[in-house]
Amino acid sequence: MSTSSVSLTAASSTRNMAAVALTLASFLAASSAPTPLYRLYQQAWGFSSGMLTLIFAVYAFSLLVALLTMGALSDYLGRRPVILAALGLEAVSMLMFAHAQDAQALLWSRVVQGFATGMASAALGAALLDLDRERGALINTLSPMLGMAAGVFGANQLASHGHDGLHQVYWWLLLVFAASAWAIAVMPETVSRRSGALASMRPRIRLPAHIRPAFLRMAPLDIAAWALAGFYLSLGPTLLRVITGSTLMAGLAVCINTLSAASAIWLLRHWTAQRMLRFGGSVLPLGIVILLLGVASHSLTLMVAASIIAGAGFGVGFQGALRSVLPLAEPHERGGLLSTIYVLSYLAFSLPAIAAGLLTQSLGLVPTTYGYGLMLIVLGLLALAATRQKAVTRHGA
């Protein structure tokens, strides 16, 4: 092969990686875009906190249904058709959001969006690994963080300064998804089609036996990391608004947390998976302790510092979790394994946040925050103990 052919292949691979990575980031941007708008919706349409919790819950439930039924489909049909179908469904949800005028319309928009996001997540993640197993694991962690930060920041800015702040962000996202569909449509397929697509849609957890020990070791930190994300996307904005009185600062706190996660992932990308897991298990609980001190003292400085520190633990810990299991999967196992990881992650993301939303109505925001924070500290320390136990076992062997 000539030097020019090699360069062309490398350039094509990089373009394809960029297209898939940006598409994954776009799905997560769209999923987080409603976060800074929820209180504005509530003020405009007059629905209860219980309805707000339900809107959060249906997204997570729909996403989990998609992961359990569609998570491995791209291992059989190919990555491209599944991603394109998910993009079409996501476009429908953007149109629903853009025309929503009440809480019921918002709820159904989140149902459709959740299914589209679940359908896309495993296929996009597997496509990244197909294109480059080493860089794919890194981008699988980095893209969601950057996407969530961009979604919250963009929606926050448009709501504060744009025309029709409740809907405008969805029209912009619709354009992004149209561009993504074109980019995915022209890229080559990365896996061969094989039989068994219908059978793969039977709901089940796909975790190959040889991956289970590594999966169980990383699970506590994955749960802690995504429960932290659930906190920042559910209670976090309300908590910051109560303490600072600023809607803008409430949205920026989520951006700070996810941008810190992305920055730490990039800076520490050369670490081993085990070192990343130990870092996450140590730093995430520290960030939560500082957050609780900030809540107790009503200190914005401490809360911003906590967002940065906990965000670093979240990002690096999740990267370590992925890197400890993804390299163990064969190409035909990648979609199914990623769907299982995302099922665990989104259960951790949604269930504590839903419970906290319900408890807030009876216990109050601050006591619920303390309870949520203590749970995260315990999970982080359990994850740290699991990584240290593995190190001791290896040393003893």
Residue 196 lies in a domain: no
**pLDDT tens digit sequence for 336-370:** 888 889 899 989 988 888 888 888 888 888 899 99
Residue type (1 letter), 305: A
φ, ψ for residue 282, nearest 5 deg: -90, -45
Place of tokens 């796909």: 206
* CATH code of the domain in which 79 resides: 1.20.1250.20
Residues shown for the chain: 397
Mean pLDDT, the chain, whole residue set: 86
Q: Are the C-beta atoms of 99 and 105 separated by less than 8 Å?
A: yes
Q: Are the C-beta atoms of 201 and 73 separated by less than 8 Å?
A: yes
Residue 87 lies in a domain: yes
Q: Are the C-beta atoms of 120 and 87 separated by less than 8 Å?
A: yes
Query: Helices 212-244 and 247-267, interaxial angle, to 10°?
Result: 150
> If pLDDT is split at 50, 70 and 90, which confidence band does 163 have?
confident
**Mean pLDDT, range 79-89, rounded to an integer:** 96
**pLDDT tens digit sequence for 187-203:** 999 888 888 888 888 87
Residue 4 lies in a domain: no
Res. 6: pLDDT tops 60: no
**pLDDT tens digit sequence for 272-290:** 988 999 999 999 999 999 9
Res. 322: pLDDT tops 70: yes
Write down the H helix ranges in the chain: 3-32, 38-45, 49-70, 74-77, 79-99, 103-131, 133-161, 168-186, 197-200, 212-244, 247-267, 273-297, 300-325, 334-363, 365-396
For the entire predicted model, the pTM comes to 0.83
Q: Which two tokens stand for residue 55?
A: 């809107």
Residue 93 lies in a domain: yes
Sequence-distant (6+) residues with CB within 8 A of 134 are: none
**pLDDT tens digit sequence for 191-235:** 888 888 888 888 778 888 899 988 988 898 899 899 988 888 777
φ, ψ for residue 71, nearest 5 deg: -60, -35
Residue 349 lies in a domain: yes
- CA 254 vs. chain centroid, Å, equals 13
Residue 199 lies in a domain: no
Q: Which contacts of 93-101 are long-range, i.e. CB under 8 A and separated by 24 or more positions?
A: 93/30, 94/30, 94/170, 94/171, 94/173, 94/174, 94/177, 95/170, 95/174, 97/34, 97/167, 97/170, 98/167, 98/170, 98/171, 98/174, 99/167, 100/166, 100/167, 101/45
Angle at 217 between CA 286 and CA 290, to 5 degrees: 5
> If pLDDT is split at 50, 70 and 90, which confidence band does 33 have?
very high
Q: What is the pLDDT of residue 117?
A: 96
Burial of residue 356 (number of CB atoms within 10 Å: 0-12, 13-18, 19+) = buried
**pLDDT tens digit sequence for 103-149:** 999 999 999 999 999 999 989 999 998 888 878 888 988 998 899 88
Place of tokens 């159904």: 108
Q: Which two tokens stand for residue 162?
A: 């744009």
Q: What is the pLDDT of residue 172?
A: 96
Measured CA to CA, the distance from residue 217 to residue 382 in angstroms comes to: 10
Q: What is the DSSP string of 3-40?
A: HHHHHHHHHHHHHHHHHHHHHHHHHHHHHHTTGGGHHH
Measured CA to CA, the distance from residue 112 to residue 152 in angstroms comes to: 19
Q: Which two tokens stand for residue 136?
A: 């794919």
Sequence-distant (6+) residues with CB within 8 A of 107 are: 51, 54, 55, 58
Identify the CA nearest to 113 among candidates 33, 53, 182. Answer: 33
Percentage above 70 pLDDT, the chain: 93
Q: Looking at per-residue confidence, does 103 or 8 come out higher?
A: 103
Residue 203 lies in a domain: no
- Domains: count for the chain: 1
Q: Which domain holds residue 64?
A: 14-190+208-396
Kindly tell me the sign of the dihedral angle through the C-alpha atoms of 63, 167, 34, 309.
positive
Measured CA to CA, the distance from residue 396 to residue 262 in angstroms comes to: 35
Q: Looking at per-residue confidence, does 112 or 51 come out higher?
A: 112
Residue 19 lies in a domain: yes
> If pLDDT is split at 50, 70 and 90, which confidence band does 7 have?
very low
